[in-house]
Copies of this chain bind each other. A is one copy, B any other.
């Protein structure tokens, strides 16, 4: 899902002073004879800066997802802006197997050590951590609201479904709870990436298809030198595998631009300009759309001489990208087990080359890579799929620019299962701090979300006092 952000330098959001701490967490919540009550150090960030009604005020708890927790803390200004207004204690908890929360250190990504990486274990971590920290902080009566973006938003939903005894409400920003549970259309994701570009400029789709076709033609004529120079590659491609890799890399570049199509510049594996999709389409210094997409995303500093297609992009069990480094290994494992993302591009409903990723492909890859057999339907069984009518107090926010949006809940289900749609929003833009360049729609969304959260807190406090 590839949701790691970095906001450093001049564009960074103002950040409260978080304390970085570690929580002694149970290694295996679901097997008392595996590891016994063995523990690992789970990282979390905490600030009581706004917690003026100590022991009474709310706790805003970010359910960390697939990355270093600092990256989420530094890019979720909405949470502390709202905490400031509502007097909340703020905690950002890191997901096991990501960042510095590695249960077995460097050995965490081996088999069988990796086996303790599941959604259920992560949720139990958060449930246990909240319960314990509330005791330690003398805050047992404080209502807890969970926040999360993308997979973190899915975890926020799941926390409210599974632990409503602990969590009074959830803001799930850009949480594709349906598409990752195998519900919906496998063509939706890349169709919506395509739509983003098409909506800016209707001729874009044809141009991109044409560029990919040119690449295909060059490959079929084995004109690899031409491909190398066109894409500034470090090595001349020499096989259909190399071409497949290049196509995947290019598709990923477009995907990231669509996801991160924010109205101001942000930082993800380098610099992303404001409105990257628009920038790409307006740029007339290029003859090759793929080329510019590539250089915007992968050549952030402008000092890369050439691209090594196998180091800047790694194919994995998530066709939308796993990112790089050890976090990407963990996410690959999750995509191989519980999180189902058999998304395809087909060049008919989208502008990309046909690149299927069927359940069979997934089984083959995951068995070889991790020694696991995915269980289609498991996430739907565990976390209800679209049968959410008995749940309550969840906001499902989505931005229309975000290709993940239509894999989530777009219509309110009840008066307390509320869809908030943001026409000009990219991937969980609403979780970011206020910015002068924000469209009105995201300001409205944030205001509405804050009001609903305040209402939940008030209701929960009434129950307790």
Contact = CB atoms under 8 A, between A and B. Distances in A.
A7 to B, nearest CB: 34
Given A381-B131, A390-B392, A36 B373 contact: yes
B115 A165 contact: no
Given A164-B384, A384-B165, A389-B463, A115 B375 contact: no
Interface stretch (A9-17, A25-33, A48-56, A424-432): A25-33
A37 B375 contact: yes
A120 B30 contact: yes
A23 to B, nearest CB: 15
Contact of A373 (B37, B115, B166, B388): B37
Interface string A110-146: 0110111010110010011001000000000000000
Interface residues of A, number: 45
B30 A118 contact: yes
Contact of A34 (B36, B37, B115, B392): B115
Contacts of A372: 32-33, 36
A387 B164 contact: yes
Contacts of A128: 381
Contacts of A165: 380-381, 384-385, 387-388
A33 to B, nearest CB: 3
A146 to B, nearest CB: 14
Contacts of A120: 30, 120
A31 B118 contact: yes
A252 interface: no
B164 A162 contact: no
Interface in A318-368: 336-337
Contacts of A371: 33, 36
**A contacts with B: majority SS:** loop
A30 B32 contact: no
Contacts of A121: 30
A164 B390 CA distance: 7
Contacts of A392: 390
Contact of A377 (B131, B381, B387): B131
A118 B121 CA distance: 14
A40 interface: no
Contact of A33 (B163, B370, B377): B370
Contacts of A114: 33
A137 B166 CA distance: 38
A111 B392 CA distance: 41
Interface string A93-121: 00000000000000000011011101011
Contacts of A124: 381-382
14 contacts: A30-B31, A30-B120, A31-B34, A31-B116, A32-B337, A32-B370, A32-B373, A33-B370, A33-B372, A37-B375, A124-B381, A127-B382, A164-B387, A165-B380
Interface of A: 26, 28, 30-34, 36-37, 111-112, 114-116, 118, 120-121, 124, 127-128, 131, 162-166, 336-337, 370-373, 375, 377, 380-382, 384-385, 387-390, 392, 463
**4 closest cross-chain pairs (CB), A and B:** A33-B115, A165-B387, A165-B384, A164-B390
